[in-house]
Structure 1
Amino acid sequence: MALIEGFKIRNFRSLRDVTLGKTWQDQKQSPLTPLTVVVGKNGAGKSSLFDAFGFLADCLTYGVDEACHRNQRGGYERLRSSGTDGNIEFEIYYRESKNDRPITYELSIGQDSYGRPVVFSERLRQRREGQRHGWPFSFLELNHGSGKVWSGTALAESENPNLKEETNETQLVNLDNIQKLGIATLGNLKDHPRIAKFRRFIEGWYLSYFRPDAARDIPRAGPQKHLDREGENLGNFVQFMEREHPRKFQNVLSDIAEKIPGIQNIDTELSPDGRLLLRFKSEGFDKPFYAQQMSDGTLKLFAYMLLLEDPDPAPFICIEEPENGLYHKLLESLVDEFRANATGRKGKSQLFITTHQPYLVDALEPNEVWILEKKDDGFSTLTRASEYKEVVSMVEEGIPLGSLWYSDHIDSQL
């Protein structure tokens, strides 16, 4: 399973300079855990952090100009940190699998002379096989759309880590559109399989913007393989799961029945005009309820449980404030499901969660939690809870982490 070990952000809204986890420049830090949760008060910057991942994914799919305006972002100037003239920058440090050498991706987005957002620079690098020290080799390096790309499938072992690849293995690149990411173009060519693999990794990210009202819409019938970001096709995804993966679907129903008393069965019904109805059967009622009649919390929990049973799951899943609309006693079991999906018997997706609910934090370990706080200058800082020995000691003594955060004890440590 691919795993992001570190993520660095510069000049993106209130995130002027924050780093989560380990980067190639700071190897002393511990990597991100498969389940990572960021807590913070209202206005601390959780939504900005969540959207940093969404913005990067949109840059790949739509280009940097359109990405700056999607999801009501308001354009480049509203995204760039107030009072700074530096570029918006991202750095991802990740591994394709546990035994693979880490890869670093760096992206810098600025403006041209007309004020349009453009890709200033882009780089992918990785150490050669057998190289344990020295700088990683850049197998993609572009500045303003021009540069070099190495066309091989794996970097060969070299006695000199600074030695460039042979010229017949290196291609000169000159892109004609610097509003598009180089990995979007080169990642479609079979000559660059590692770039293609990284492009597919980001394209596979799932950012949940689930809206219960969207899930209550009645879509046209027809199974769909994945749940969309807002949940509009929840009924179609249910139809796919109950037809193609009945055992997994039954697992979801069993889990839902344990967590929400009274739910006996969930299935679909085709209306006379060809639309798909999501149907809930409850104890004590002869007739089923439909999605339009179910609570926000029931629909949200059902969607999350179904998402985690996706037979072809996203490698990286972001969920913003999953506690909204849920009974607080359900949060511990929901965290258990998240952790099992990320690290346990399933171990198929890395999960990144933002929250301000102490009951959810109570179910977490200090190394899984990051505290986001906005300082007096208006910019946010990130600190891992496990960095504070006093907090770790109190958790080991049985004091829940969420209770420490609720009482502002962790904030006082900052």
Structure 2
Amino acid sequence: MIKRLKVKNFRSLKDFEIEFGKFNVLIGRNNTGKSNIIDVLNFIREGFTDMIGRIFARRGGYKEVVFGGDEENDIEIEVEFETNFLNSNYNFVYNVQISNELVVKETLKITKNNEFVGEIPDLRWFGNPPYICMEKNPDVKRIQTLIKSCEIEKKFKTMDNGIDRGAIFGMLVCKIHIYSIIPQNIKPEYPEAFVDKYLTLDEDCKNLALFLLKLSQQDKKKFERIKELLSGIIDEIEDISPTIEGKRIYLMMKDKNFDKYFYAESISDGTISLLSYISIIETSEKPDIICFEEPENFIHARLLEAEEIKERRKDASIELCFATQEIESWLLGCYEEVLKEAKNEEPDNVEDPVALLEKHERKIRKDKNFRYNKISDGKRIAQNNELKHFEHSASFKRFEKILQKFNNN
């Protein structure tokens, strides 16, 4: 899992550091840098799977990525990972410094079972995928082969050196997955029905129908579990059916109130989004690092806090990271009557969520002078509605400290 991230001069992050736990929620208004934190992780992953020129080209070039557009500044990223491999605990601290699309410094510090092993200098991995990419690196392939063999412990003793440990780190980086789910891309038919054994979900889940078809054929237990979870949260959904028609595949669902299956175009965006989240979390495996951007879009806040989702998240061996809007928008999802009064079913689209919260709380408390407080009232509402991940997440604690300082001033 990722333990810590330190960034200098990357987009809006001039000098930024954050610690991560197993479950993380990044909270803030638009343009406060949430997406940039997620993009840093994506940037690191791309550095191990693509050429450096293409990585920056996708973002508009170095000038668009470096803080303030100042090409004299270097981008520096330090990320700390930890993992357990063959009953040994490894800690990796990776640092890369980039100047005008050229890597000027790149190191990897390795600790094994709390003992410092050493540092690998001058790696030349980032933006040079043939050296470290999962598909091409011989060290990574060797580890994958050993994992499948019956003599892992014996053979691992012969490969206890820096490069092989570096390959373990390379595997961790390649397990970072960034998802931004767009229901409108999922609903149309998928143009091919060929199921590859190693098929994975696209970052926008566009191939969800094909992915579920693969599961229904190759892992029936997981497929049934996904259906069970969705039906447990949305009572009306009775069945999910990825259906092949000619060379195309359609995602279809059966509503228990009707005798027929409906194409995805007739299903709500929230249901499609929720199915995507469930499919991602249910099929992820250790040491996957899963990041979602704005999961509250299209989905009522209470649905994300359903018991089925909370239990799966608690038991997951993966690391989850969410980037979401200001906490008040999220908390509005707890008040269906308030949203109904505001004639807006999407909490994140409410222009002044604080005003609505205050109005509702004044009515409950019978206190016309009540003023909403982010720290005390935000936490109370979260606790009352079992949104406890806000209180326990490291990001919320930092958010709380900042607000406390603001209030003290």
TM-score (normalizing by structure 2): 0.72
1:58 aligns with 2:56: no
| 1:165 equivalent in structure 2 | none
The structure 1 residue matched to 2:298, chosen from 320, 325, 336, is: 325
Does structure 2 conserve the Cα–Cα contact (< 8 Å) formed by 1:313 and 1:349? yes
| Distance verdict in 2 for CA 1:276–1:16, change over 3 Å | same
Instruction: Output aligned runs, 1:91-240, within 5 Å.
Output: 91-97=78-84, 100-111=89-100, 117-127=101-111, 131=115, 136=116, 138-142=118-122, 145=124, 179-180=127-128, 184=132, 188-190=137-139, 192-219=163-190, 220-224=192-196, 225-240=199-214
Structure 1 unaligned blocks of 5 or more: 22-31, 112-116, 146-174, 372-382, 389-407
Instruction: Output aligned runs, 1:15-414, within 5 Å.
Output: 15-21=13-19, 32-70=20-58, 73-82=59-68, 84=70, 85-97=72-84, 100-111=89-100, 117-127=101-111, 131=115, 136=116, 138-142=118-122, 145=124, 179-180=127-128, 184=132, 188-190=137-139, 192-219=163-190, 220-224=192-196, 225-271=199-245, 273-310=246-283, 312=285, 315-333=288-306, 337=309, 340-341=311-312, 344-345=314-315, 347-356=316-325, 357-359=329-331, 362=382, 363=387, 364-370=389-395, 384-385=398-399, 387=401, 412=407
Shift of 1:130: 6.8
Shift of 1:293: 1.9
| Distance verdict in 2 for CA 1:17–1:194, change over 3 Å | same
SS in 1 for 2:96: strand
| Distance verdict in 2 for CA 1:269–1:413, change over 3 Å | farther
CA–CA separation in structure 2 for the residues paired with 1:269 and 1:411: 55
| Distance verdict in 2 for CA 1:93–1:311, change over 3 Å | closer
Does structure 2 conserve the Cα–Cα contact (< 8 Å) formed by 1:7 and 1:92? yes
SS in 2 for 1:61: coil
| 1:405 equivalent in structure 2 | none
Does structure 1 conserve the Cα–Cα contact (< 8 Å) formed by 2:89 and 2:113? no
Shift of 1:312: 4.3
| Distance verdict in 2 for CA 1:127–1:274, change over 3 Å | closer
CA–CA separation in structure 1 for the residues paired with 2:311 and 2:52: 35
Shift of 1:340: 4.4
Higher helix share: 2
Shift of 1:60: 1.8
TM-score (normalizing by structure 1): 0.71
CA–CA separation in structure 2 for the residues paired with 1:308 and 1:130: 31
CA–CA separation in structure 2 for the residues paired with 1:130 and 1:295: 50
CA–CA separation in structure 2 for the residues paired with 1:37 and 1:120: 33
| Distance verdict in 2 for CA 1:206–1:129, change over 3 Å | closer
| 1:4 equivalent in structure 2 | 2
Does structure 1 conserve the Cα–Cα contact (< 8 Å) formed by 2:88 and 2:112? no
CA–CA separation in structure 1 for the residues paired with 2:263 and 2:405: 43
Deviation per residue, 1:202-249 (Å, 9 max, x gap):
112110022112212322113353211111210111111112222222
Does structure 1 conserve the Cα–Cα contact (< 8 Å) formed by 2:296 and 2:330? no
Shift of 1:349: 0.8
Shift of 1:366: 2.9
CA–CA separation in structure 2 for the residues paired with 1:411 and 1:223: 54
| 2:337 equivalent in structure 1 | none
Does structure 1 conserve the Cα–Cα contact (< 8 Å) formed by 2:177 and 2:289? yes
The residue type paired with residue 187 of structure 2 is R
The residue type paired with residue 90 of structure 2 is R
Deviation per residue, 1:165-203 (Å, 9 max, x gap):
xxxxxxxxxx9xx85269627981337221222112111
Deviation per residue, 1:144-171 (Å, 9 max, x gap):
x5xxxxxxxxxxxxxxxxxxxxxxxxxx
CA–CA separation in structure 1 for the residues paired with 2:267 and 2:165: 45
| 2:352 equivalent in structure 1 | none
| Distance verdict in 2 for CA 1:295–1:193, change over 3 Å | same
CA–CA separation in structure 2 for the residues paired with 1:57 and 1:184: 11
CA–CA separation in structure 1 for the residues paired with 2:4 and 2:288: 15
Q: CA RMSD in A?
A: 2.9
CA–CA separation in structure 2 for the residues paired with 1:355 and 1:43: 12
Identity of aligned residues (%): 23
SS in 1 for 2:306: helix
| 1:378 equivalent in structure 2 | none
CA–CA separation in structure 1 for the residues paired with 2:408 and 2:211: 45
Shift of 1:328: 2.8
Structure 2 unaligned blocks of 5 or more: 140-158, 334-377
The residue type paired with residue 42 of structure 2 is G
Deviation per residue, 1:309-365 (Å, 9 max, x gap):
11646610110000000123213228x73x6455x33x3210111101433893114
The residue type paired with residue 202 of structure 1 is V
| Distance verdict in 2 for CA 1:130–1:4, change over 3 Å | closer
CA–CA separation in structure 2 for the residues paired with 1:4 and 1:366: 20
Does structure 1 conserve the Cα–Cα contact (< 8 Å) formed by 2:285 and 2:318? no
Does structure 2 conserve the Cα–Cα contact (< 8 Å) formed by 1:123 and 1:138? no
Does structure 2 conserve the Cα–Cα contact (< 8 Å) formed by 1:14 and 1:45? yes
